[in-house]
Amino acid sequence: MPTGLLLVDKPQGLTSHDVVARARRALGTRKVGHAGTLDPMATGLLTLGAGSATRLLTYLVGLDKTYETTMRLGAATTTDDAEGEVVMTADPAAIAAVTDEQLAQGIRALTGEIDQRPSSVSAIKVDGKRAYDRVRAGEEVELASRRVTIRAFEVLAVRRTGEAIDVDARIDCSSGTYIRALARDLGASLGIGGHLTALRRTRVGSFEVADAVSLEALAEGGASLLASPAEVAARLFPVLEVDAAQARDLGHGKLLTLPTHPDAEPVAAVERGSGGEHPDRLVALISVRQGRGRTLVGFPPENAQEAPK
């Protein structure tokens, strides 16, 4: 079974599920998942896992992210992006009255730790049902605010057309941040409304869109494009090298005795390979407490067949 992490540069117009379906065909396996959904209008980095590497995806979801975006100030929409219906358009005089300093002040207010109310048209579940499904069914949905961190809100360009102010920006943020909501709140603070017209994710943790492949390249390259679980885990966690006997013990659920290892969780337990057809193997993610290593998540040998679920 193909196993590993795949970085895909998602094109506009496809859902994240569409990309997963393409990856399943290219890799020849149903066991493919993704971490961190992108809206159909968004492009950029989508992280996929295949085989047992899907067990790593939960650790990718919470990583910081970087986006490049265009926010249009001067109109508000039902979805806080260009795909929704316009519900408010500001008077051109009000748009022209917004000064550069007011714009900068509004951006400063949305930088750092902030309370953000997610867009109503989102995948957040309300009483077991996606918020966007409730909105499409005609329900009024008001999601609770959540604490997020905007580490950088860098303006790249400002274009004034008379009917709108377009702001190109690069945003570094914590997981769970809605860039659409930033556009909405920036426009609201200026009294002219705002929504998103373009969004591209360029980074997830230490993974960059520059290292991602297109869907066309995926169709041609298939499993040869996968990064091994050991390689991925080494970028995410501290690494503990284990020998064959220790790897076997972890595979059987036994504790490791690690008297000099500091307490840490998770730690990637990696069995070093000899290269070529015997690469490094991620054996498990473990918790080390008081000199004892306990398996949190196990990873079978890549040539092993996992039991059906």
Question: Which of the residues are catalytic?
Answer: 39
Q: How far apart are the first and last CA of the chain?
A: 15
CA–centroid distance for 227 within its chain: 17
Strand 239-242, strand 264-271: pairing: parallel
Distance CA 145, CA 114 (A): 9
Whole-angstrom CA distances from 182 to 21, 43, 81, 196 are 31, 18, 11, 9
Which of 144, 135, 150 minimizes the C-alpha distance to 117? Answer: 144
User: What amino acid is encoded at 56 in this protein?
Assistant: L
Which of 253, 256, 283, 254 minimizes the C-alpha distance to 271? Answer: 283
Long-range CB contact pairs, 243-252, < 8 A, 24+ = 243/271, 244/271, 246/271, 246/283, 247/271, 247/281, 247/283, 250/283, 250/284, 250/286, 250/293, 250/295, 250/298, 251/283, 251/284, 251/298, 251/300
